Structure 1
Amino acid sequence: MSQARWWQRGIFYQVYPRSFQDTNGDGIGDLDGIRARLDYLVTLGVDAVWISPIFPSPMADFGYDVADYCGIDPIFGDLEAFDRLVADAHARGLKIVLDFVPNHTSDQHPWFVESRASRHNPRRDWYIWRDPAPDGGPPNNWMSNFGGPGWTLDPASGQYYYHAFLREQPDLNWRNPAVRAAMHDVLRFWMARGVDGFRVDVIWHLMKDADFRDNPPNPEYEPGDPDIRRFIQSHSTDQPDVHPIIAELRGVIDEYEDRVLIGEIYLPIDRLVAYYGANLDGAHLPFNFQLIHASWSAPRLAELIAEYDAALPEGGWPNWVLGNHDQPRIASRIGCRRTRVAAMLLLTLRGTPTMYYGDEIGMENVPIATEDAHDPWEKNEPGLGVGRDPERTPMPWDASPAAGFTTGRPWLPLAADSARRNVAAQMEDPASLLGLYRALIALRRAHPVLHAGTYRKIAALGDVLVFLRESEQECVLVALNLAETAQDDIPLPPGTLGRVLLSTARDREERVEGHLALRPDEGVIVALDARI
């Protein structure tokens, strides 16, 4: 444990920059806003700040359509502002991780402008171009993740280009060595500026089937589902030859000391773990989103924890995520009362946790009417409930009219309860959810067994999950009541003796002997006197 890398010991905190802190009154968060809130992040106790895309962009997909990989969009600041942020973060012991979007660019990126100019342009093969099908339609049945076909016809050249997302986001051709070399240089550019690592967007999309075969129909598709569910993406994503590509990215990362490569991957566990690489030469942390999609029951949680732990390659380091900018907030998924137990689960499992801004104060999805939507997916497939604006709303810092986020009009509406549910109010209340997060993080730092010790399930019956975290130095028991009813007599293994270190209610320190009682939606961490 003493030799663990910073990304193994630490906690990642995702900032959606448009919504974190605005400093110039335009209603959109910026880099100086993140810098202004670094002391808050230090007080919270996190170790690394992952920043969603800040590169120059037409903002068709709010920064995930990159027009220049080596710049900063003026909405957020400039390179000097970025350098100040990195310097101030490092001075506080915080790491900076950037979102890297290598699967596709903006259609306004100079590379694509050249590629589109003619079939004979030297950069034509930097993107994925195909002749029409015999009937003149798209080359195959691949769909866009944001609705409609994944192919758009370029009338001037008579060919289609592929885009896994918006038509404004053409996919790069990662089979082209020149593309790979250019993107490797992008990584080097930012690491030379002090960036500590990258979260790689849709890393499992980078390689496509070389023969461009149709995807098979999805037997589970139902009318009213998003278009992307019409077919199983067996040929347009997760190709075996993506792993050498990721190994090349990892090789570039390893040119610099102590950097981290994180991969965004929405795949079942057995396929997810392949992204560690055959020789652990892939992503250091292939994001594990199992908690986001799991049903909130003790047997199911225990099952997925065991399945993930068993599937990890030898030497592969686990990680856990409760929420992000693409998924409904945890408080909206399971209810506000349960967020305290969810926090304890996240911060006591073996591995590296990632937090999403605002989850530490219990932010919920903010309802956004379809006609007010900013998210392009919601605009393309209205009425299906696919919009991601609700989980991207501004951080409420205090009870002022704009919640301390801006002096102008926020780009997305604030939560209706922001005058009550905000950082300032919870910072003054040790019993608040924010107070619990701070206590959990401090306890995790004080007891390395909570991030690096082994995991052993003790019980997962009904609504109660009990597990042990063990090392040579200490043994800690975690008991979580996932129900809204009390559990008055939870039997523990014979010889269980210990002391409550922390309760989600922040009001228990009693001795534990053989059994345990938990209130509704309560969790406790118990330091045991000896192994059991």
Structure 2
Amino acid sequence: MSSDGPWWHQAVIYQIYPKSFADGNGDGVGDLAGVRAHLPYLRDLGVDALWFTPWYVSPQADGGYDVTDHRDIDPVLGTLQEAEELILEALDMGMRSIIDVVANHVASDHRWFTAAVASAKGSPERARFWFRDGVGPGGASPPTGWVSPFGGGTWSRAPGGSDQWYLHLFSPGQPDLNWNHPEVRAEYEEILRFWFDRGVSGVRIDSAALLMKDPTLPEVGDDVTARGHPFEDRDEVHEIYRSWRKVADSYTDSKLLVGEVWLEDRDRLARYVGPDELHTVFGFDVMASPWQLTRLRAAIEDTLRTHERLAAPPAWVLGNHDVTRAATRYGRRDTGFSFADKAWGIETDVQLGRERARAMALLLMSLPGSFYIYQGEELGLDEVEDLPQGVLQDPMVARSGGTNPGRDGCRVPLPWRANAPGLGFSTVPPTAAPWLPQPSRWADQAVDVQQHQPHSTLALYRRALLLRRQYFAHDDPVVEWLDRGPDVLALRRGSGVQCIVNMGTRNHLLPAGDQILITSDSAAPGDTRILRPNTAVWWRSRPS
């Protein structure tokens, strides 16, 4: 991997969940007008690109990941013209745009699915999806016992009194597409061209490993490794991304393809990245790793080693719109992340979690590759875990029978002004409360408060991103690990800058004669040579 490669190799990319970023018309829901009003904030933060989660027309059965039309904007968020203007305005400020493409499924009101439901069994319209007869007497049972990542089954009876079932790996409002069908493949290649032609610089591929299914519909058994999983990481999926790469490479400006791929097997994960497939995949192993030196370093080393042999840049993340916020995760007894372990009422020390999240941000920013910021991480926001039951919208809650708290807690609208209604979420006089209620404690984390505090999380991010551009943007991608004791994770980059993280319970004394570039310590100790527990610094030897 070269440090002077395409734009994304060392880029800082800010993830925007449009419904919760900023409201530009006072209806309580974030929109493109709200994003446009805050583009100077994102520019001043120091990011290189903006990743927009789905902004398309959608019935919102799953937060916009049930798409009715990939070529138009949901009216609640704005218009296609506004999206085109936003892309250009951001580019004028030095920020590229990345869009989310949802390829595994569409919304249940998509024109293809409504046509399929209205058509007879065995019709060409149904061939674009996975319609199958049930099993047992009268076909009363679903074709398989596959379990959804959202909980529950993956088959529903087709509407309109049909005797067939249709497949949906996620919610019933998200019928899975049949990627063996040539029309499906052609449609998505045209969707890529539609947005690339409008100035989009990259695509994040949702659920990238799930597109292909075994047409014989076997159950998930003990022999998955030998015969392949029936709907996850099937070999045929790579044909799709080879065709997408040809589309991306047909443009003179560099277009990024980054995949959401959750796989434990690194060799299988590596197959998605290459000169004829995706440019990179997210480093979820590091994000999910607990606050424990040996495991965290191993996850970083594995990610670096995998991407080095692929000549591709890693994509580091602390969180996203699906994951419990870092300031909460790192304040728990179990500091790792697993969807299966999400539960209500876990005891959390948010202040401890926030300190560790600040230190992790410095660590990930110091590594070669791109760094993704999920909106609100730069404010140190914690997970909102006390939302009233009546406002929860994530289908994971209902599909799990209420045992899973879902993902609404990391999607609560951002706090912009501490003393304004809705914490300033609306950029015009508000007429409606934010679509998810914000906790009053977030007033202390609001942008207008933090921008005047020299040791706030916002100040830390702004300073760190400036220094990252100065010292790491064109640095040698090699990471040299240093031994500073059993509880201290330390590395050095080619510029000579070291990142040192104290993961123990005692203060660590930094060497004399150093130059502290930045510290994550929000207490800002008087003796800068003292690295307190749960904090990190960037430093280098003073020039002679």
Q: Tell me the TM-score normalised to structure 1 length.
A: 0.90
**Preserved contact between residue 375 and residue 389 of structure 1 (Cα < 8 Å):** yes
State the one-letter code of the partner of 1:389: D
Of the candidates 460, 475, 483, which is equivalent to residue 459 of structure 1? 483
Q: Note the residue ranges of structure 2 that are not aligned, 5 or more in a row.
A: 331-352
Of the candidates 517, 526, 534, which is equivalent to residue 521 of structure 1? 534
Residues 88-130 of structure 1: CA distance to partner in whole angstroms, max 9, x if unpaired?
1011011111111011001100011112222253322111122
Shift of 1:340: 1.7
Which deviates further from its counterpart, 125-134 or 7-16? 125-134
**Preserved contact between residue 3 and residue 10 of structure 2 (Cα < 8 Å):** no
Q: What does residue 402 of structure 1 align with?
A: 422
Shift of 1:393: 0.3
Which deviates further from its counterpart, 458-467 or 49-58? 458-467
1:56-95 to 2 correspondences below 5 Å: 56-95=57-96
Give the direction of change, closer, same or farther, for the CA distance of 1:372–1:319 in structure 2 (3 Å limit): same
**Preserved contact between residue 54 and residue 64 of structure 2 (Cα < 8 Å):** yes
**Preserved contact between residue 328 and residue 383 of structure 2 (Cα < 8 Å):** yes
Residues 223-246 of structure 1: CA distance to partner in whole angstroms, max 9, x if unpaired?
xxxxxxxxx993221111111111
Q: What does residue 447 of structure 2 align with?
A: 423
Q: What does residue 27 of structure 1 align with?
A: 28
Of the candidates 316, 319, 325, which is equivalent to residue 315 of structure 2? 319
**Preserved contact between residue 500 and residue 509 of structure 1 (Cα < 8 Å):** no
Runs of 4+ in 1 over 6 A off after TM superposition: 508-511
Give the direction of change, closer, same or farther, for the CA distance of 1:259–1:452 in structure 2 (3 Å limit): farther
**Preserved contact between residue 370 and residue 379 of structure 1 (Cα < 8 Å):** no
State the one-letter code of the partner of 2:269: V
**Preserved contact between residue 266 and residue 272 of structure 1 (Cα < 8 Å):** no
Q: What does residue 475 of structure 1 align with?
A: 496
Residues 249-290 of structure 1: CA distance to partner in whole angstroms, max 9, x if unpaired?
12112222211111111111515632444x432211211112
Q: What does residue 269 of structure 2 align with?
A: 273
Q: Secondary structure at the match of 2:404?
A: coil
1:314-393 to 2 correspondences below 5 Å: 314-334=310-330, 335-366=353-384, 367-393=386-412
Give the direction of change, closer, same or farther, for the CA distance of 1:280–1:497 in structure 2 (3 Å limit): farther
Shift of 1:218: 12
For residues 46 and 504 of structure 2, the distance between their equivalents in structure 1, rounded to whole angstroms, comes to 29
Give the direction of change, closer, same or farther, for the CA distance of 1:338–1:138 in structure 2 (3 Å limit): same
Q: What does residue 340 of structure 2 align with?
A: none
Of the candidates 254, 259, 278, which is equivalent to residue 258 of structure 1? 254
State the one-letter code of the partner of 1:502: I
Question: Which structure has the higher relative contact order (CA within 8 Å, separation 6+)?
Answer: 2
State the one-letter code of the partner of 1:204: A
Is residue 244 from structure 1 mapped to residue 239 from structure 2 by the alignment?
yes
For residues 337 and 324 of structure 1, the distance between their equivalents in structure 2, rounded to whole angstroms, comes to 19
Of the candidates 286, 297, 303, which is equivalent to residue 302 of structure 1? 297
Q: What does residue 222 of structure 1 align with?
A: none
**Preserved contact between residue 10 and residue 473 of structure 2 (Cα < 8 Å):** no
Q: Secondary structure at the match of 2:491?
A: strand
For residues 223 and 492 of structure 2, the distance between their equivalents in structure 1, rounded to whole angstroms, comes to 40
Shift of 1:328: 0.4
Residues 326-357 of structure 1: CA distance to partner in whole angstroms, max 9, x if unpaired?
00000011112212201111211121111100
**Preserved contact between residue 265 and residue 272 of structure 1 (Cα < 8 Å):** no
Q: Note the residue ranges of structure 1 that are not aligned, 5 or more in a row.
A: 220-231
Shift of 1:521: 2.2
State the one-letter code of the partner of 1:205: L
Give the direction of change, closer, same or farther, for the CA distance of 1:416–1:271 in structure 2 (3 Å limit): farther
Q: Tell me the TM-score normalised to structure 2 length.
A: 0.88
* Cα RMSD, aligned residues only: 2.4
Give the direction of change, closer, same or farther, for the CA distance of 1:193–1:524 in structure 2 (3 Å limit): same
Q: Figure out how many residues of one structure are paired with residues of the other and give that number.
A: 505
Give the direction of change, closer, same or farther, for the CA distance of 1:178–1:23 in structure 2 (3 Å limit): same
For residues 272 and 432 of structure 1, the distance between their equivalents in structure 2, rounded to whole angstroms, comes to 41
Shift of 1:12: 0.6
Q: Secondary structure at the match of 2:291?
A: coil
